[in-house]
A and B are shown apart, each in its own frame.
Chain A
Amino acid sequence: MLRKLFQEEGAKGALIATVSTVVVFGLAVWAIAASPNWNKVQNQFFSARHMSDSWPQVSRGFLINIELFLIAMVLIPVVSLLVAVMRSLRGPGFFPLRLLSLVFVDLFRGIPLYLLIVLLGFGVPTLRMDGVPNSARFWALTALVLSYSAYTAEIYRSGIDAVPESQRSSARALGLTQWQSLRFAILPQAVRNVVPALMNTVVSLQKDVALVGIVGVRDALREADIYTDRFFNYSSYMVATVLFLLISIPLTRAVDWYVARDRAQRAQVMA
């Protein structure tokens, strides 16, 4: 990535890029280090001892983040595609399904994710319903899936709408049913249209998983909270920060790479 950045600049450009980078970052570091309270902050946020002491519990919590992220990654595409397909079915007979889909999207996209996690995570277990899981973790995950599915359904729908109407006509003209037309002709094109948008959702989901701590799920952030409450030192948050970055930076790079490749392939097809 860095090499590519330099390659675009040429030899003289590379020199300017290097110098300006050193100057900019140097100034930033100097400004922070020269601030009156830097010593205290360094001790509060970057204490090596507190970092290594908090590591076991924060990293254990991070495994929960990863677990919830992976489960959500499987559920969200399925739920959202279902919602999007229901929305694009035509004919008066499908009105109830379209309405259901509309209500789903309006409701779960309209409630802030934070609030939804609180409502479901604290609310549902309190009902003590039979046969329904009562763990905060389950309901926090459910809130995450519902909220993200509502957004993702709209992404799918925009992809479905972007497929020309004539494709639907020609599928129907072959004798395919409405469902078969969607399944074989429309959806494959629609999904391909929205892959870049879907990938960006994945990156943002990976971070929003940290919100499950609100209802007491002991994820990385919650464990960092607990450590801080006990030792009055914030270094545990830095551990959590680094753990999230370790996943999200490679993920973002991978998404960029994929989107760029996709764009190049499409450009080739057009030519």
Chain B
Amino acid sequence: MSAPVPSSSSNLSSSASPSSRGRSPKLALVDVYKSFGDKPVLNGLDLVVNEHDVVCLIGPSGCGKSTILRCIDLLDPIDRGQILLDGVDITVPGTDANRLRRRIGIVFQSYNLFPHMSVLDNVTLGPRRAHGVERRRAEAKARELLDRFGLGDKAGDYPNKMSGGQNQRAAIVRALMVEPEILLLDEVTSALDPELVGEVLGVIRELSAQGLTMILATHEMGFARDVATTVAFLHEGRVLEAGPPATIFDTPQQPRTQQFLQRVTEAGRL
């Protein structure tokens, strides 16, 4: 959260190898394979994310969007390939996953706040227990962030007393507590009532304006067009087409992408 303006990324393509640019990318997935049982989900996927990028993963349900995010956070082990964070492969045995999760935050579709804890306890649990931050400091930081995202008066509330939008904003605050270098957002508005989507997208927009590197799996095409530096269209476990939003949405090259966007447009989502 340093540079105020996100660098607009150029010549990003799905096949760009980590070394094809001057400096190494923030995150690179190289030829990643992952299957659940005998069902392949990721099929030799390549993806490059530079610092301050906002990458939106789009594609039909089941194309592997969520799996990519879970694999990056090491919640699911990959079968083959590499995931490089600052050029270092994090999928090799011996990687300290708990330490890695200080650098990468994730927010889930269904918020997953802990129902038996107040918002404040939810938000401070990670820093206090996993990273040894003392309670007072953790709570001070939590209150500051909750204030910033309009939850200042909700610190003592339990998740079931709040709206979906408030839950999801609290979940985002929880992920931001450790000041992650990359934030992963897994369809964070899909479970929300339509009128609550805006408040969560507003939060993401603010984070992108601050230059936070983010990867979003999303169905919100209008929003993707608006905030993404790169849009990647996934099909059958690989990136079929990637580029700046204007290119992908206005002049998609692949028939599959055109088809998908056609259907989305017909459904009134673009």
Contact = CB atoms under 8 A, between A and B. Distances in A.
B101 A173 contact: yes
Contact of A166 (B105, B108, B131): B108
A175 B98 CA distance: 4
Listed residue (B105, B114, B131) with the most chain A CB atoms within 10 angstroms of its CB: B114
A266 B110 CA distance: 20
B126 A174 contact: yes
Nearest to A192: B116
Nearest to B96: A175
Contact of A174 (B70, B110, B115, B125): B125
Interface size class of B (residues with CB under 8 A): 20 to 34
Interface string A139-177: 000000000000000000000000000110111111111
A61 B126 CA distance: 52
Given A173-B73, A174-B126, A174-B130, A167 B114 contact: yes
Nearest to B126: A174
Contacts of A174: 101, 125-126, 130, 174
Interface string A188-231: 11001000000000000000000000000000000000000000
Given A169-B75, A184-B129, A269-B160, A176 B98 contact: yes
A111 B178 CA distance: 51
Contacts of B112: 166-167, 169-170
Contact of B125 (A172, A184, A269): A184
Interface in B213-238: none
Contacts of A166: 108, 110, 112
A180 interface: yes
Listed residue (A167, A184, A188) with the most chain B CB atoms within 10 angstroms of its CB: A184
Contact residues of A: prevailing secondary structure: helix
A188 B117 CA distance: 10
A124 interface: no
Interface of B: 70, 73, 75, 97-99, 101-102, 105-106, 108, 110, 112-116, 125-126, 129-131, 160, 174-175, 178
Interface of A: 166-167, 169-177, 180, 184-185, 188-189, 192, 269
8 contacts: A167-B114, A169-B108, A169-B112, A170-B114, A175-B101, A175-B131, A189-B114, A192-B116
